[in-house]
């Protein structure tokens, strides 16, 4: 089964695949590079939760000879000495420091900052009577909130926006993606230098002061990982939650809780559909498949959320969703909580400011960005009474 070229509805494709081939499916990634796609809820939990058998360091891969330099998925497997590819005690050192640096963020202060950001963005289009809530709202909202977390000035954000997207663009040109990574890395190195010189009450300063004793380069790499990991999923979460609310006719009609829309978006249209990945440390069996040492496993988080084992009666889910991953390389606490502060502020501000905001096209015409890896609406055109 070729995973590339998969377009509009990965959720449906994954569901069919799981029904036909079981919870672990051999697939071909771009360029016919082989991998295992893990689709079952139990199997994803096992792979993500058992780091002694399924580890994160991509240098274990047994298919490197099949991977060209300009492979489109290189951003996911290009090893760097960052928290993302670290294992064992080194991962605990780096991830622990990052988690504690994030934990120092005062939630009410962040909620206020996010509301200010949301209001500023709405100010930008309120007089127009129409807007695209993906490019005009969800995406800059997420980026400005992450810039706030990192203590970066707002002037840096437009440049950062282009680079953060280029760096994650798995279908774009690999050279421009590498350049974007290099520029963002240089910006993080500068940020670390600035905070070493003069500490502030922010995430980079707390990371540098942490007893784990990160070097400047380790801190720059982990802040870069934070920026890239946080921005797109948070933007997609906001956009998908807004889609749930707007497509349901709420805001303009019967209101529903923001929390419902946020939760529904995580379960049904989770922003990170597939994670590349984990590499088998030794030969083993997973879901009746024989996995060889060095094989690549892709975590199908969207498919796992839709697995009947996660939702036994097809309605009320009695298990935790896997949208933030699972195990030691999952989204590090308290990042999911902080992402929710951003998403909640974004969803709440809109009807407060634009009471009759509604979709400008039928909900059935809304399209998803074509990607098997991430999920979010391609656009959310809305209209409303212009603010004078
Ligand atoms: C403030 C916002 C966020 C921050 C700061 C953040 C930060 C991070 C970081 C640093 C990692 C790498 C962890 C590691 O490898 O040890 C990560 C991984 C991840 N994050 Fe987040 N994140 C944010 C929002 C989100 C959102 C909104 C989602 C999805 C709904 C998400 C889903 C994930 C997933 C699926 C992984 C990878 C899990 C894996 O490899 O198994 N994150 N995040």
For residue 331, the CA-to-ligand 1 centroid distance in Å is 3
Domains and CATH numbers, the chain: 10-383 (1.10.630.10)
pLDDT of residue 254: 46
DSSP string, 67-95: --TT-TTHHHH---SSTTT--HHHHHHHH
pLDDT of residue 7: 56
39-63 b/e (C-beta count within 10 Å ≥ 16 → b): bbbebbbbbbeebebbbbbbebbee
Question: Which residues have CB under 6 Å of ligand 1?
Answer: 48, 83-84, 95, 98, 225-226, 229-230, 233-234, 237, 271-272, 275, 299, 301, 323-325, 329-332, 335, 338-339
pLDDT of residue 251: 61
Name the strand (E) or helix (H) holding 96. helix 88-103
For residue 197, the CA-to-ligand 1 centroid distance in Å is 29
Tokens of 34: 């082989």
Residue 196 · residue 108 · CB < 8 Å: no
For residue 18, the CA-to-ligand 1 centroid distance in Å is 25
The SS3 call for residue 25 is strand
| Number of helical (H) and strand (E) elements in the chain, helices listed first | 13, 10
For residue 335, the CA-to-ligand 1 centroid distance in Å is 7
Residue of 279, 331, 340 with the most ligand 1 atoms within 8 Å of its CB, for mutation: 331
| CA–CA distance, 296 with 299 (Å, rounded to integer) | 10
pLDDT of residue 260: 87
Distant-in-sequence, close-in-space partners of 9: CB < 8 Å, separation ≥ 6: 368
Residue 163 · residue 199 · CB < 8 Å: no
The SS3 call for residue 379 is coil
Residue nearest to atom 18 of ligand 1 (CA): 331
Per-residue pLDDT of the chain (388 residues; tens, 9 = 90+): 777 666 567 777 887 888 889 999 999 999 999 999 999 999 999 999 999 999 999 999 999 999 998 898 988 999 999 999 999 999 999 999 999 999 999 999 999 999 999 999 999 999 999 999 999 999 999 999 999 999 998 888 777 777 777 766 544 566 667 788 888 999 999 999 999 999 999 999 999 999 999 999 999 999 999 999 999 999 999 999 999 999 986 664 444 556 689 999 999 999 999 999 999 999 999 999 999 999 999 999 999 998 887 765 555 556 789 999 999 999 999 999 999 999 999 999 999 999 999 999 999 999 998 888 899 999 999 999 998 7
pLDDT of residue 314: 54
For residue 323, the CA-to-ligand 1 centroid distance in Å is 9
């Amino acid at each position: 089964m070729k995973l590339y070229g998969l377009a509009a509805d990965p959720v449906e494709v994954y569901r069919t695949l799981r029904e036909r081939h079981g919870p672990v499916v051999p697939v071909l990634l771009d360029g016919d590079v082989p991998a295992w796609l893990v689709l079952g809820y139990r199997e994803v939990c096992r792979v993500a939760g058992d780091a002694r058998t399924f580890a994160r360091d991509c240098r274990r891969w047994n298919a490197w000879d099949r991977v060209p330099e300009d492979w489109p998925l290189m951003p996911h497997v290009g090893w760097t000495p960052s928290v993302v590819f670290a294992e064992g005690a080194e991962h605990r050192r780096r991830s622990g420091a990052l988690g504690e640096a994030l934990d120092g963020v005062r939630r009410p202060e962040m909620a206020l900052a996010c509301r200010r950001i949301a209001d500023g963005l709405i100010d930008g289009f309120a007089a127009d009577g129409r807007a695209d809530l993906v490019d005009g709202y969800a995406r800059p909202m997420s980026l400005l909130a992450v810039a706030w977390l990192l203590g970066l000035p707002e002037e840096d954000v437009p440049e950062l926006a282009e680079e953060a997207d280029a760096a994650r663009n798995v279908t774009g040109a690999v050279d421009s993606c590498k350049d974007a990574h290099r520029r963002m890395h240089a910006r993080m190195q500068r940020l670390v230098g600035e905070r070493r010189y003069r500490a502030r009450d922010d995430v980079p300063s707390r990371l540098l002061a942490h007893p784990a004793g990160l070097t400047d380069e380790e801190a720059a790499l982990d802040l870069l990982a934070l920026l890239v990991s946080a921005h797109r999923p948070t933007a997609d979460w906001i956009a998908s939650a807004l889609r749930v609310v707007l497509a349901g006719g709420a805001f303009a009609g019967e209101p529903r809780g923001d929390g419902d829309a946020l939760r529904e978006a995580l379960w049904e249209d989770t922003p990170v559909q597939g994670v590349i990945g984990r590499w088998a440390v030794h030969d083993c069996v997973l879901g009746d498949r024989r996995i060889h040492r060095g094989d690549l496993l892709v975590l199908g988080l969207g498919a796992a959320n839709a697995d009947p084992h996660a939702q036994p009666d097809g309605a009320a889910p009695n298990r935790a969703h896997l949208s933030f991953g699972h195990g030691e390389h999952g989204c590090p606490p308290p990042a999911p909580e902080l992402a929710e502060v951003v998403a909640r502020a974004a969803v709440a501000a809109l009807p407060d400011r634009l009471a009759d905001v509604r979709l400008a096209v039928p909900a059935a015409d809304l399209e998803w960005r074509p990607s098997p890896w991430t999920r979010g609406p391609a656009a959310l055109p809305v209209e409303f009474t212009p603010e004078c």
